[in-house]
A and B are shown apart, each in its own frame.
Chain A
Amino acid sequence: EQQVQQSPASLVLQEAENAELQCSFSIFTNQVQWFYQRPGGRLVSLLYNPSGTKQSGRLTSTTVIKERRSSLHISSSQITDSGTYLCAMLSNYNVLYFGSGTKLTVEP
């Protein structure tokens, strides 16, 4: 059973457009994180957002714990934003569950 669902699976944007990525989880969590996975595989932590809205530069994450969902908004996309965005939630048993990711492609 997939604990974390992400949508869309892939997204193609023109440079400067905004992106909205969605994440939903099947069990209760109080820790939601967003990561960026580089083409070589390395993970970069983007935002740790247990609840409410958090912003870092052009990234804004909104988590509604009661509704078991989180979103990541990328404003004014750039070509270098291309890659895979992963949502993850921490269970009560110290297990971090990942979604299957949204592959973002930003074109000139």
Chain B
Amino acid sequence: AQTIHQWPVAEIKAVGSPLSLGCTIKGKSSPNLYWYWQATGGTLQQLFYSITVGQVESVVQLNLSASRPKDDQFILSTEKLLLSHSGFYLCAWREDTQYFGPGTRLLVL
């Protein structure tokens, strides 16, 4: 069975500090991987997707970047956090339907 893990579970960071969020999927080779973001009380938005190692497509510009260094790993990062980056970040993979990880809750102060 496939499992998807995200780390960290939660973060409190200062404005202007760097950020790295990770996602790993086990039990699935060459998955299509996705990053989503949800502001508190807001609508889920797709940020990035990747269909293969080294290839990432951006969907929404939020001063974030993503990388896919390994087949089973997807990284979301920024060098300088903004207050508007606060929210809930979800990683997912897709076959017919999307399967989501548990998420990372980020608070930027």
Tell me, yes or no, whether A binds B.
yes
**Does B57 interact with chain A (Cβ within 8 Å)?**
yes
Nearest-neighbour CB distance to chain A for B71, whole angstroms, equals: 18
Q: Which of A48, A95, A100 contacts B43 (CB 8 A)?
A: A100
A31: chain B residues within 8 A (beta carbon): 96
Report the count of interface residues on A (CB-CB < 8 A): 19
In the assembled complex, how far is the CB of residue A20 from the closest CB belonging to chain B, in whole angstroms?
A: 21
Q: Give chain B residues whose Cβ lies under 8 Å from the Cβ of A99.
A: 43
A residues less than 8 Å from B92 (CB atoms) = 43
Query: How distant is A5 from chain B, measured CB to nearest CB, in Å?
Result: 11
Q: For residue A49, which residue of chain B has the nearest CB?
A: B97
With A41-B103, A42-B102, A100-B43 known to touch, is A95 a contact of B59 (CB < 8 Å)? Answer: yes
Give chain B's interface residues, CB within 8 Å of chain A: 32, 34, 36, 38, 42-46, 49, 51, 57, 59, 88, 90, 92, 96-100, 102-103, 105
9 contacts between A and B (CB under 8 A): A2-B43, A33-B98, A43-B100, A45-B97, A45-B99, A88-B98, A95-B49, A95-B59, A96-B98
- Taking Cβ atoms with an 8 Å cutoff, the residues of A that contact B are 2, 31, 33, 35, 41-43, 45, 48, 86, 88, 94-101
